[in-house]
Structure 1
Amino acid sequence: MIRRKREIGELEEEQLKNVYLKCKEFYMEAAKQILKRFPFDDKARQALKCLKMQNPKAILDLEIKKKFPSIADLHYFFPKICPNNITELDREWRMLRNVDFSFNQNKTPDIIDLWKHVQELRNGDESQTFPTLCELVKKLLCLPHSSTAVERLFSAINIMKTKLRNIISTTAIKEVLHT
């Protein structure tokens, strides 16, 4: 066995294995905690599967494109976000699947770059090619991925509204939060 000189600050093999093991345990525990807190029933799983439509691979990869022939399912899971004109939305989705993108074939663009590119596509009369679809994607990408912001707000309110300040008005709380 050939031994190489160890760099300063470099971990030994046993220490490195221990770090990997601890990381794996952390991710496993995080997944268990997420499953406890969120209702991942069939409807939720199908909704998450529908959100994969936004992924650049789902738009650029021919094999994955076949899995999402229509965007109508998205309307079922997100009726308040999707536009009322589902026919126009589905027409734009089918049209988008036939667009030849000029991205580097070796590297898939990230989701923001792809949808910026789609939003910049224009028709011959300079009108946006996919207005309904881009509006929907903007709304979907803005969905909160956690309740952290709400929890932070409740913490701030709890700090302000103490036993000594228990009669503080809602208006005063808003003004202090704004400040």
Structure 2
Amino acid sequence: MPGKRLKECDALQDYLDPKPYLGYEFEKNMSECKFPEEIASDIRRRCIEFVIELVTQLRQRLPENFKVLQSISSLSGSECLKPVKNDILDLVKLFVNNAEILTRIDFQWRKLHTIQWIQTSDTIGLWAEIVSYRDATGENPFKELSDLAITILSLPHSNADVERVFSQMGIVKSKLRNRLAITSLNAVLTIKYGLRRHGKSCHDYKLPESVLRKIGSLESYQTSSESPQPSTSTQSPTEGDPREIIEWDLADLQ
């Protein structure tokens, strides 16, 4: 099947070469061993069956949206800065429905390589640089594109990423702390992963003075958009309250 592009649903056996080439090392060893024709054919057949089974199982392990994952690779620094690059409109349409914004992103994608960027070897660093870029007018000419790229890159792209988050969530929200509110749980996980990204821990991270002043007060739980309203629910005051006050265990920040 040299040169044949197979689809995911195609049966591999229907396109096999009757006498496939199995590599230099295999062919060299087969010629040196001088097996009888029957044994040599059986060895070759078993090797072919092994490769077919390997490819079949790899196909079964691919997610249904693996084409989307393939298109995300276009956002890497080595791909997005090429003068001639893949179109990303199919990927963008999964996140954007507005035709005007789609047009802007398309134009921004096509002229992205015209700027001399610094962080070209690091994908995250490159898009962080693009987000903070400003032209002579103080505007970011790549705003829609960079916002979309950061959104896509921040999504979990493997089951392992999701499993790690669920594992940490199970550690934080234990049986003794089962009534922990979602906002509080999200805050603890954000702090944990934020410290990890900066290579810090609760032992060596220095809190800003503005944060230290809020400790022991309700200031950090109040927002300007909130207005006190009488509750008509029969739920207990502490159950599911997103503004509940928690005793932050030091171990939660490690």
Give the TM-score normalised by structure 2.
Answer: 0.40
Aligned to 2:68: 47
2:169: which partner in 1? 153
**Conservation of the 8 A alpha-carbon contact between 1:83 and 1:132:** no
Report the Cα offset of residue 174 of structure 1: 8.5
Alignment of 1:24-103 (within 5 A): 40-41=63-64, 44-62=65-83, 65-66=84-85, 68=86, 70-76=87-93, 78-79=94-95, 82=96, 84=98, 85-97=101-113, 99-101=114-116, 103=118
Structure with higher helix content = 1
Q: Does the CA-based 8 Å contact 2:117-2:126 persist in structure 1?
A: no
Whole-angstrom CA distance in 1 between matches of 2:153 and 2:67: 17
Question: What is the match of residue 22 of structure 1?
Answer: none
Could you tell me how far apart the structure 1 residues matched to 2:132 and 2:240 are? 43
Unaligned runs of 5+ in 2: 1-57, 179-235, 249-254
Structure 1: tracts of 5 or more residues without a match: 1-34, 163-167
1:140 aligned onto 2:163? no
Alpha-carbon distance change, 92 to 173 in structure 1, aligned in 2, over 3 angstroms: closer
Call closer, same or farther: CA 1:143–1:175 in 2, change over 3 Å: same
Aligned-pair CA distance for 1:56:
0.4
Residues 113-145 of structure 1: CA deviation (Å, up to 9, x unaligned):
222332343333121120101111121222134
| Bigger Rg, structure 1 or 2 | 2
Aligned-pair distance for 1:151?
Answer: 3.3
Calculate the aligned-residue CA RMSD, in Å: 3.6
